[in-house]
Amino acid sequence: MICENHTRVTEFILLGFTNNPEMQVSLFILFLAIYTVTLLGNFLIVTVTSVDPALQTPMYFFLRNLSLLEVCFTLVMVQKMLVDLVSPRKIISFVGCGTQMYFFFLFGSSECFLLSMMAYDRFVAIYNPLHYSVIMNRSLCLWLAIGSWMSSVPVSMLQTAWMMALPFCGPNAVDHFFCDGPPVLKLVTVDTTMYEMQALASTLLFIMFPFSLILVSYTRIIITFLRMSSATGCQKAFSTCSSHLIVVSLFYGTASLTYLRPKSNQSPESKKLVSLSYTVITPMLNPIIYSLRNNEVKGAVKRTITQKVLQKLDVF
């Protein structure tokens, strides 16, 4: 549709959190620290699960993919936010907005599916431990990871292309800190009912379907726990699931508050805070959760650091 009597929008203004210069500086320092911790933590997980022989198992293969996904997610979201906090004009081009929106949809949906694959891995390990290595073989793990990364590519492309093809002929101020679907959709100058129905269907598919798989996996895991005669075995089995459960709760809890809550119950400020949780806070917490609650990861981190230190000492 051609914008009649109006010039089509070529760039958007991201309103962000505040216009107070002092508050922007404080937020920049805070988010820069979070961004640094996120990258260091996730790269550390990727490194130790790649080089440590004790962590060459399906569980840590999926954990490595989760950390890589969090790094990609953070690069798409946080870098632009940091630039805007120190820039006088928070501008993003029309193409840049569409690109950010596409990768946000892609990585967010991929994380949903990857978390469900991790739940399935824990189910197989606990429900059928004797055949775990046969079922969760290298080939299956690789295909599950590829499927998690690539499953949402067509829908993300369709959703983004459809959104950016809609007429933006009036205001261009996005009341958010990144190009998320709902706040950008408010700027469209025609009826968007069809797009909203498609977006809701995609949300249910890429949030609720993987979540249903997680629920089924953990229901079977709980049943297996109840049948265990050994309290020690039950405690050890639960310890391998607790970190994943915490990560799932953080991610799905905040995502559901954003995309499955009625519009009338959402204010722009509350939506920004909730979005901040799963775009900035959760990627930082994931490696911390897995490191603090997993003795194998803690041991691998110590061995990796010790090895690096000894290598440097040998050089001198």
Q: Which domains does the chain have, with CATH numbers?
A: 11-314 (1.20.1070.10)
Q: What is the torsion angle, in degrees rounded to the nearest 10, for the CA atoms of residue 6, residue 8, residue 10 and residue 12? A: 70
Beta carbons of 67 and 287 less than 8 angstroms apart: yes
Residue 1 clears pLDDT 70, i.e. is over it: no
Q: What is the pLDDT of residues 44-81, one digit of tens each?
A: 889 888 888 878 889 889 999 999 999 998 888 888 89
For 274, the token pair is 């909730």
Decide: helix, strand or coil at residue 315. helix
DSSP at 146: H
Listed in sequence order, the residues at least 6 apart from 315 whose beta carbon sits closer than 8 Å to its beta carbon are none
Q: What is the torsion angle, in degrees rounded to the nearest 10, for the CA atoms of residue 182, residue 212, residue 118 and residue 289? A: 60
Decide: helix, strand or coil at residue 176. coil
Decide: helix, strand or coil at residue 18. coil
Q: What is the pLDDT of residues 211-244, one digit of tens each?
A: 889 999 988 888 887 777 666 656 666 666 777 8
The C-alpha angle with vertex 279 and arms to 202 and 44, in degrees rounded to 5, equals: 120
DSSP at 136: T
Q: How far is CA 52 from the centre of its chain?
A: 25
**pLDDT in the model for residue 30:** 93
Element (H, E) at 14: strand 11-14
d(CA 258, CA 273): 10
